[in-house]
Structure 1
Amino acid sequence: MASILLIEQHPLLRLGLRHLLAQAHLPGDLIDIDPLAPIEPDLWLMEADLLVYGLPSDAAAGWVQLDDLCERLRPRRVLLLTERPAAALSRPALPASVRGCLHKAASAEALDAAVRLVLAGGECFPSLLLAEPASGCGDDTGTLALSGPIEPTASTTPTAPNSHPAAPVVVPLHALRGEAPAAQPAHTSETPSSGAHLLNITERQYEVLALLARGYPIKTVSRMLNISVATAKTHACTLYQRLHVRNKGEAVYVALQRGATLDWSGPPAVRPLGACQAA
């Protein structure tokens, strides 16, 4: 079971990457993290098998964040996504865990192959960075030079990203090793009723957990569910006790282990407290 962290600042690219990785038939969990939100070194984020990190346009700030993430979260491997691979890999103090670099405009097949290769212990870098410079060509996309244990895998057919909430989300990557991707039925989000029954918690507690899993702070959760912050905190504490965990990260992990997806899309309409009185 592989754990993959995804951090990409551009919202559309982030949604596309999340969708592609979720459809890659890799056994494990994909944890999509908003790079603009505070990233706490929770148990579910520590020592991930792979960190897919999109270097932002402000490269200096991006390198600072990546160094901090590597120090605090200690991912085993990092796959770097950037618009300028040559400039990125010429950085003197590249984090030791970087095992690959890919252009952000790379194809879905190239990303799928790079993720699988790096997870298998190999490396993936643009070939022009490993060869002698031939000319002053300004295009640094290059072709990929792959090294390490490579096994033939069925390529994943690229699909257009469909609608997803823009908030962070944990996506279970359910698949069986050795099975070719099959046509998937239309996905239906888990309902609070089914999720609550599976986890033996109340529907309201499930709603709080599902929104927390998407990265919303407790104040936002209370606003989305139209309850007070104190009530939201009480539901969170109670569901932690029910699941025998200490915090949000452990709760999400246990829920996924029990078969829940926590992909509830949230209430159909968000109205702030007191909106009814004001109407």
Structure 2
Amino acid sequence: MSWTNRGTPAPAQVLECGAEAHAVVIDDMPMYRHGIARLLGEMPGIGRVEPVEAEALAARNLRLPAPALLVFGMPSELAEGWNQLRLASLVLRPRRLLLISDNMWLRLPPGLDARFARTLCRSASLATIERDVRALLNLPPAAPARPEPAAEAVPAGFRRPFHAYA
């Protein structure tokens, strides 16, 4: 499995078709697949997100351009999952990989560099997933969160916790 295109700088590999990257999400859990696809779709720098079921992978048109990122949810049956990932790498030819797994000890195959592939636990926070996607695709960091309003601006009656009113 090769996700590297070592002769080309990362921004040129990822953003070669205009200014936005293309991502593919494969996961056997429909709600998780939808959530990750939505998260990626809202990130600046990612133009098209394509959720794909593992069973539909073999029927995919091989002439479609290679995605910049493959987010692959590893199924509970690891042998089947590695076979699906191998098939996905042959059919899609992705440039980067984010491997999501229930097994927090799961490691990437030897030879995959952190510049091209990463692994996360399925329970990772949205901020962690977004951080790793940004790092893989060499996208700018997220805008900082807006600061909380000052405590003096909130009336004194609303500063107490809710259970204090009961």
- Same fold flag (TM > 0.5): yes
- CA shift in 2, pair 1:94/1:65, >3 Å: farther
Provide the residue aligned with 1:187 in structure 2. Answer: none
Provide the residue aligned with 1:153 in structure 2. Answer: 142
Residues 1:104 and 2:122 aligned together: yes
- CA shift in 2, pair 1:54/1:101, >3 Å: same
Identity %: 28
Residues 1:65 and 2:84 aligned together: yes
Decide whether the 8 Å contact of 1:70 with 1:95 is kept in 2: no
- CA shift in 2, pair 1:68/1:38, >3 Å: closer
CA distance in 2, matches of 1:72, 1:14: 19
Residues 1:43 and 2:63 aligned together: yes
Output aligned runs, 1:197-276, within 5 Å. none
Quick one: which of 70, 77, 84 aligns to 2:96? 77
Cα RMSD after superposing both structures: 2.5
Which of the pair has more CA radius of gyration? 1
- CA shift in 2, pair 1:57/1:43, >3 Å: same
Per the normalisation by structure 2, the TM-score is 0.65
Superimposed CA distance per residue, residues 222-262 of structure 1 (whole angstroms, 9 cap, x where no aligned partner): xxxxxxxxxxxxxxxxxxxxxxxxxxxxxxxxxxxxxxxxx
CA distance in 2, matches of 1:57, 1:16: 19
Quick one: which of 52, 68, 84 aligns to 1:33? 52
Decide whether the 8 Å contact of 1:53 with 1:80 is kept in 2: yes
Decide whether the 8 Å contact of 2:28 with 2:53 is kept in 1: yes
Q: Which has the higher contact order (CA 8 A, sep 6+)?
A: 2
Could you list the runs of 5+ residues in structure 2 that have no partner in the other structure? 1-19, 147-166
Per the normalisation by structure 1, the TM-score is 0.40
Matched length: 124
CA distance in 1, matches of 2:74, 2:110: 13
Could you list the runs of 5+ residues in structure 1 that have no partner in the other structure? 121-149, 158-279
CA distance in 2, matches of 1:153, 1:20: 13
CA distance in 1, matches of 2:124, 2:68: 22
